[in-house]
Amino acid sequence: MKNHILKIGLLLLSFILVFSYSQKAFSEALNKPYVHLSNPGSFIMNEDDLPFLAIDNKGNKTLVVSIDYSKDGTFKEMLNGIDTKTGKIKWSKRKISSHIKVDSDRGITYMYSTRYDKKNTITAIAADGKELWSNSIPEVYNQVDIDNRNGNVIVYHTRSDKKTYINIFNLKGQLVKEQIIDGQLNNIKGRYWFIYDYNLERTQVIDTETSKVVLKATSSDAYLLRDGTFLFVEGDYKAKKMKIVAYNSSGHKKWTRYVWGETNPLQIVGPNFLVVGTKTVSLYSSQNKLISSKDIGNFRNIQSDDKAVSYEVVTGENKLQLNILNPTNLEVRHSIDYSNDRLFNYYSGYFEYLGNHQYYQDNQETDSIELNYIP
């Protein structure tokens, strides 16, 4: 009986020791960058082409990074697809002064090249690096956008004649439409095109399914919420006095809200919108109902999407705090403190919150993208 009790005791002690060691190892792992997503050799992140997450229909994730790659005295503009779990480069493409647009829902990267043998060429690249198709375009079009309804890629350019020339390709690379419109195409939101009319000096919202003008507004700063509400920011940034005007999908005015700030105060967060003040952020529904408001002091670099609202605050000499908020109620999910040599090397560029205590961050000190865990 005593031997039996002794065996049980030793077994229990072993379990406790193993569990404690595992917890310690796991805790240490959480406090370290999981992997540095960087290319061997030196490279500089191109500020105009920040990283994107491409997620294909099977859930595979690729971090698409545009870089200026310098090694052994050579200089090449490269587009790299990086495995989001290991940090290893899955594929590389020569990038010739390109415009990059990523369709994250379908895992396709569109690269529009403007020089050399790839002049005026748009190329579709899958998340695994496979080239799906490539087409040349007769003119120098300088904008690329995606119709999220069907995956069509829209390439367009406004000329000096104040007309916009448009080519539309489907997912197979087939040219499905060529179009010339009066005015400057500024934005595309699904079925709606936001076009600035030089004669009227107004922005017109065109429903491409009916070819009808839904509404006209004096501002070119236009947004579309999920329920079909259009938001326009009007006013004088220098005077720090602006207003947000909302219209329904039929073009009728719903409401007006006056705001104050130094820059465009509006950000879209899921089905709602965020108003960024001088020291506060406020979350509103499409009906102009206040959901939550938060005092964030002397913040900077505020970013938002469907997964998070994030910003940084200087908390003292050589001290910086990154705050990640729940996008539905602005409650704090995580607060991460940086200091000394880590100060300003993080979060001054690209930031992507992934959920599950993970986020990507641009470390300018090591010229790398890091995947980090939050304890």
Q: Is the dihedral of CA 276, 277, 280, 282 positive or negative?
A: negative
> Sheet of 351-355: strands edge to edge?
33-37, 368-373, 358-363, 351-355
- For residue 369, the model assigns a pLDDT of 64
Report for 108-112, 273-277, 291-295: range of highest mean pLDDT:
291-295
Q: What's the predicted TM-score (pTM) here?
A: 0.74
Helix (H, G, I), strand (E, B) or coil at 56: coil
Q: What is d(CA 334, CA 357) in angstroms, rounded to the nearest whole number?
A: 9
DSSP-assigned letters across all residues of 284-315: E-TTS-EEEEEE--SEEEEEE-SS-EEEEEEE
- For residue 33, the model assigns a pLDDT of 42
- For residue 141, the model assigns a pLDDT of 66
In this predicted model, what pLDDT tens digit does every residue of 190-219 receive, in sequence order?
899 999 998 888 899 999 999 899 998 887
Asked if residue 44 has pLDDT above 50, the reply is no
The reply to whether 308 falls in a domain is: no
- For residue 43, the model assigns a pLDDT of 40
- For residue 350, the model assigns a pLDDT of 54
In this predicted model, what pLDDT tens digit does every residue of 329-339 receive, in sequence order?
999 988 877 66
Q: Do 278 and 260 meet the contact criterion of CB atoms below 8 Å apart?
A: yes
- Residue 47 sits in a domain of what CATH number? 2.130.10.10
In this predicted model, what pLDDT tens digit does every residue of 70-91 receive, in sequence order?
555 555 677 888 777 777 788 8
DSSP-assigned letters across all residues of 354-367: EETTEEEEEETTTT
The reply to whether 89 falls in a domain is: yes
The reply to whether 74 falls in a domain is: yes
Q: Do 100 and 82 meet the contact criterion of CB atoms below 8 Å apart?
A: no
Q: Do 111 and 95 meet the contact criterion of CB atoms below 8 Å apart?
A: yes
Residue 138 DSSP symbol: S
The reply to whether 317 falls in a domain is: no
Asked if residue 316 has pLDDT above 70, the reply is yes
The reply to whether 268 falls in a domain is: no
In this predicted model, what pLDDT tens digit does every residue of 80-124 receive, in sequence order?
887 777 777 888 887 666 678 888 888 898 888 776 556 688 899
Place 347 in a pLDDT band, splitting at 50, 70 and 90: very low
Q: What is d(CA 214, CA 224) in angstroms, rounded to the nearest whole number?
A: 13
| 136 vs 86, more confident | 136
Asked if residue 2 has pLDDT above 70, the reply is no
- For residue 79, the model assigns a pLDDT of 80
- For residue 19, the model assigns a pLDDT of 35
Place 42 in a pLDDT band, splitting at 50, 70 and 90: very low
The reply to whether 97 falls in a domain is: yes
> Sheet of 299-304: strands edge to edge?
299-304, 309-316, 319-325, 332-339
Two tokens, residue 18: 């193993």
Asked if residue 277 has pLDDT above 60, the reply is yes
Cβ neighbours of residue 127 closer than 8 Å, sequence gap 6 or more: 54, 55, 56, 60, 61, 62, 81, 107, 108, 109
| 71 vs 361, more confident | 361
The amino acid sitting at 168 is I
Whole-number percent of the chain with pLDDT over 70: 67
Asked if residue 148 has pLDDT above 90, the reply is no
Can you count the helices (H) and strands (E) in the chain? 1, 33
Mean pLDDT over the full length of the chain = 76
The reply to whether 83 falls in a domain is: yes
Domain boundaries, position 57: 32-182
- For residue 324, the model assigns a pLDDT of 85
For residue 178, give the nearest of 197, 164, 196 by alpha carbon. 164
Q: What is d(CA 254, CA 263) in angstroms, rounded to the nearest whole number?
A: 24
Asked if residue 311 has pLDDT above 90, the reply is no
Helix (H, G, I), strand (E, B) or coil at 187: strand
The reply to whether 116 falls in a domain is: yes
Asked if residue 346 has pLDDT above 50, the reply is no
Asked if residue 186 has pLDDT above 50, the reply is yes
**Number of structural domains the chain divides into:** 1
Place 24 in a pLDDT band, splitting at 50, 70 and 90: very low
Q: What is d(CA 206, CA 187) in angstroms, rounded to the nearest whole number?
A: 11
